Amino acid sequence: MPTVSRVRTLLLFALVTLIFGTAFPAVKGGLDFFPPLLFASMRNYFAGLLLLAYVGATMAYRVPVSRADWRAVIAGGAFLVGGIGFGFVGQQFITSGVAAIIFSLSPIVIALLAWVLLPAERLVGRDYVGVLLGFLGVAIIVRPDPAALLDPTLAGKLLVFTAVSVVALGTVLVRRSDPDMPIPALTGWAMLIGATIQFGVALAIGESVAAIEVTPLALVTIGYLGVFVGAIGFVAYLTLIGTVGALKANLTTYLTPVVALVVGWVTLGEAVQPLTLVGFGVIAAGFAVLQRRELYAELASYRGLAR
């Protein structure tokens, strides 16, 4: 019979997968009411303020103090949070399921950037095969056609891939900064910085606040993305990492597209092409190759428990 802690971990895993998987259809649906960068900005302002309210009520270490803290907050705001704006813009042109599948490349991009920026985390041997498989999977999904470079769908896929790359860079730069402040506080301040950048760029490129349609569904969408995805989802994901480790927590990255595909199909009538699923499988294979040592260790531990 499963223990209480095991059931709790499984429920936490399911919660993170469900929340992050429904985020992509929620963004896609919300784009009917908001210009994309203003949408991203509002979501991040809301989530950031909620996180900082939580930090203010529960923690003494609430603001950046050291240079490392400031470097992490600025890098997190400019790249980790700010880069999400590319994804909001890109989702205007592609389905939520395709966007979620492209985002499943993020652990591989993080590993590649960490190899460049974090000397202690070098790729070796077959790691390169894992990275190449990941990018091959994206190439299968994007399928660039020189005769159709102005195709909005291609532009959407490339924008979401840009979002993955920028967010991954932010993740590595935050890790490189080695901050002392609690992660919820760091993320709350980074969200406010990222939201401000997105708001400024939105106004600079001509997005108008007057274009926002304030409807009950629009408010529910912002509320869901801010409260559940931005705040609860983040805390749940950090808790999952602390409970089972980063490797197992990263497996949610490969289940969220399944949720996104199903929810997008049911609620938005989105279809997915078979080649997109093939590309997703290749990306997942790349992750398995890249994390093979950790996966082998996990399997060995389970075999040991089974004896």
Q: What is the pLDDT of residue 295?
A: 59
247: nearest Cα among 194, 178, 299, 193 = 299
CA dihedral (106, 87, 276, 139) positive or negative: negative
Q: What is the pLDDT of residue 111?
A: 82
Question: In the predicted model, what is the mean pLDDT of the chain?
Answer: 85
Q: Cα separation of 163 and 176, whole Å?
A: 20
Q: What is the pLDDT of residue 49?
A: 94
Q: What is the pLDDT of residue 204?
A: 96
pLDDT tens profile 71-116: 999 999 999 899 999 999 999 999 998 899 889 888 888 888 888 8
pTM of the model: 0.85
Task: Label residue 245 left, alpha or beta by phi (over 0 means left) and psi (-120 to 50 means alpha).
Answer: left
Residue with the two structure tokens 């005769």: 147
Q: What is the pLDDT of residue 305?
A: 46
φ and ψ of 208, to 5 deg: -115, 135
Q: Which of 26-35, 89-98, 225-234, 244-253 has the lowest mean pLDDT?
A: 244-253
Q: How many CB atoms lie within 10 A of CB 130?
A: 22
pLDDT tens profile 196-241: 999 999 999 999 999 999 999 999 999 999 998 888 887 788 777 7
Share of the chain above pLDDT 90, in %: 42
In sequence order, which ranges of 31-95 are alpha helices (DSSP H)? 36-58, 67-75, 84-90
Residue 64 pLDDT greater than 70, yes or no: yes
CA atoms within 13 A on the CB side of 76: 25
Q: Cα separation of 92 and 97, whole Å?
A: 13
**Contact indicator for 99, 160 with CB cutoff of 8 Å:** yes
